Chain A
Amino acid sequence: MRALRLLIICTLIFPLCLAAETLEAYHFASPQKEARFNHLLSELRCLVCQNQNLLDSNAPLARDLKDKVYGFYQQGQSDGEIKDYLVSRYGDFILFNPPLKAETYFLWGVPFLLLLIGFVVAYRFLDKGRVNVK
């Protein structure tokens, strides 16, 4: 019974160890730099486990990409340069935030379009109400 309990506890703790281990391999001059690095990783998609970002992912490809990003980061490259490097190889898909360009105008435009339609409908509805009261 006791062994079983120990086993359960170990199983529960194990994933935490994995998560903690991820970023310990990287060293930064300051906490701000580390925060910026982590923020950059959180904006990049893990291509193997597609709904996870690079920061949280432990897939082999994700680790390689993290090492690469870390290398560039330590060389003093900007976030934009690092993203360009990755996009030129893996495509826009690696960015969680789709860039605004010809193919994505529809994607970015629809929410505003719907909002506009909403305003028009609301305006007409309210306008009609006013006439009725009179």
Chain B
Amino acid sequence: MKRALVFLPFIAFIAVAVFLYRGLSLHPKDLPSVLLDQKAPSIVLPILGEEGYFTLHEMRGKVWLLNVWASWCQACLDELPTMMALSRQHIPIVGLAYKDKRSDVIHWLKDNGSPFSTVILDRDGDAAMDLGVYGAPETFLIDKRGVIRYRHLGIISQEDWQNTLKPIYESFAGEKP
């Protein structure tokens, strides 16, 4: 019994080392959304270039991406190539212009091109707050019934799409609405 106790500090050391080592590879920014696998909160926002308002009802029966983005957001410009590639694959992307001015949005889309099937304007960021948005860019993958299936913080790279989002997208695209 006593001999076993000699090893106790060593065992404690190993335990602490394991925890600290694990801590190195944790990303404090990778937080699951509280809204995961829940119905997306109702959004009612003006649509750019159209009369009337956007609601989630319009996207029923589609698996789609809600991309929170802004003209003032540099990282969004870095994400644009991925979004463009996705829009060429006919994946519906709704661009939520986060805390952005209508004129700036129009300008940005004219300069850089638009990957979005619809652009909605969230001038004061209220809808984004309902979604628990941290900042731009941020992307939600929403299924045919309006349930949030994935949330990605930050830029979606081609690899992110291939490895993470695409499999989720495809698994829900096959579902009956």
CB of B174 within 8 Å of the partner chain: no
> In this assembly, does A89 line the interface, its C-beta being within 8 Å of a C-beta of chain B?
yes
Per the bound structure, the CA–CA distance linking A87 and B132 in Å amounts to: 9
Q: How far does the alpha carbon of A126 sit from the alpha carbon of B158 in the complex, in Å?
A: 64
Q: With A and B bound together, what is the CA distance between A133 and B132 in angstroms?
A: 65
Kindly state whether residue B34 has any CB partner on chain A within 8 Å: yes
- Measured CB to CB, the nearest residue on chain A to B134 is A47
CB contacts (< 8 Å) of A88 on chain B: these are: 34
Cβ proximity bits A39-72 to B, threshold 8 Å, 1 near / 0 not: 0000000011010000000001100110010000
Number of A residues, CB within 8 Å of B: 14
Please name the residue on chain A nearest to B31 by beta carbon: A93
Closest to A88 in B: B34
Chain B positions 3-52 with a Cβ under 8 Å from a chain A Cβ: 28-29, 31-35
Contacts of A60 in B (CB 8 A): 99, 135
- Chain B nearest CB: distance from A45 CB in Å? 11
Residues of B within 8 A of A91 (CB): 31-34, 132
Complex Cα–Cα for A11 and B6 (A): 55
Report the bound CA distance from A88 to B129 in whole Å: 11
Q: What residue of chain A has the Cβ atom nearest to residue B29's Cβ?
A: A50
**Complexed CA–CA distance, A60 and B133 (Å):** 12
B28 pairs with A64, CB closer than 8 A: no
Alpha-carbon distance A20/B120, docked complex (angstroms)? 36
**A108 interfacial by beta-carbon distance below 8 Å:** no
Task: Out of B99, B130, B135, name the residue touching A48 (CB < 8 Å).
Answer: B135
Contact (Cβ within 8 A) B28 A89: no
- Are A64 and B34 in contact, with the CB atoms below 8 A? no
A93 to B35, CA, bound (A): 13
Assess the A64–B125 pair: CB atoms within 8 A.
yes
Are the C-beta atoms of B34 and A89 separated by less than 8 Å?
A: yes
Quick check: is A119 within 8 A (CB to CB) of the other chain?
no
Contact A48 B134 (CB under 8 A): yes
Is B91 in contact with chain A by the CB < 8 A criterion?
A: no
- Across the interface, B130 reaches (CB within 8 A) one of A61, A65, A87, A89, namely A89
A90 touches B28 (CB 8 A): no
Residues of chain A contacted by B135 (CB below 8 angstroms): 48, 60-61
In the complex, A93 Cα to B28 Cα: how many Å? 10
| Contact across chains for A89 and B134 when beta carbons are under 8 A apart | no
Task: Give chain A's interface residues, CB within 8 Å of chain B.
Answer: 47-48, 50, 60-61, 64-65, 68, 87-91, 93
The chain B residues found within 8 Å of chain A, CB to CB, are: 28-29, 31-35, 99, 125, 129-132, 134-135
Q: Could you pull out 5 A-B pairs where Cβ atoms are within 8 angstroms?
A: A60-B135, A61-B134, A65-B129, A91-B33, A91-B34
Additional pairs, 16, CB under 8 Å, beyond known A61-B134, A89-B34, A89-B131:
A48-B134, A48-B135, A50-B29, A60-B99, A61-B135, A64-B125, A65-B129, A68-B129, A89-B129, A89-B130, A89-B132, A90-B34, A90-B132, A91-B32, A91-B34, A91-B132
